[in-house]
Amino acid sequence: MDVLDPTTDSQFMRMALGLAHQAFHAEEVPVGAVLVQKGKILATGFNQRESTQDPTAHAELMAIRSASMALGSWRLTDTTLYVTLEPCAMCAGAIIQARISRVVFGTWDPKAGACGSICNLTAETRFN
């Protein structure tokens, strides 16, 4: 797991916000994600549902897929995911399945958030 450092968290969250800005300009829901391991960026992603017509093309999943391909493993242990919006249930499930150690999100999502707003799937100890 990455060491907890507010400066580092802010740096990677700023990068995620930049990706959300890209999504906005692409007429997507403006969400960005950065996946980090030991201070190194493994992958980034932003929402691409409209451009791909893929309902699973959320920022988190784009970053998870990219990192898994780059590492040759679906197990993304000892990583931190920075995302601008609280992950939904689908993304929280992928985070759990990928064994991502830590999630830092920029704002709560009272409509669809599954990391504390509606429910907290990532805190459920019965999963992986």
**22 Cβ contact list (under 8 Å, min separation 6):** 32, 46
Structure tokens that stand for 10 in this block: 């802010």
Q: Which of 27, 60, 86, 124 is catalytic?
A: 60
For the chain, what is the domain count? 1
Is 86 part of any domain? yes
pLDDT at 7 (0 to 100): 82
Q: Does 60 qualify as catalytic in the annotation?
A: yes
Residue range 1-26: mean pLDDT, rounded: 88
CATH number at residue 25: 3.40.140.10
- Angstrom distance (rounded) from CA 45 to CA 57: 9
Helix/strand/coil percentages in the chain, nearest 5: 40, 20, 40
Q: Residue 85's domain spans which residues? A: 6-123
Is 83 part of any domain? yes
Strand order in the sheet with 40-46: 40-46, 32-37, 80-85, 102-107
Is 36 part of any domain? yes
Is 1 part of any domain? no
Q: What is the pTM of this model?
A: 0.93
Residues 87-108: pLDDT tens digits? 999 999 999 999 999 999 999 9
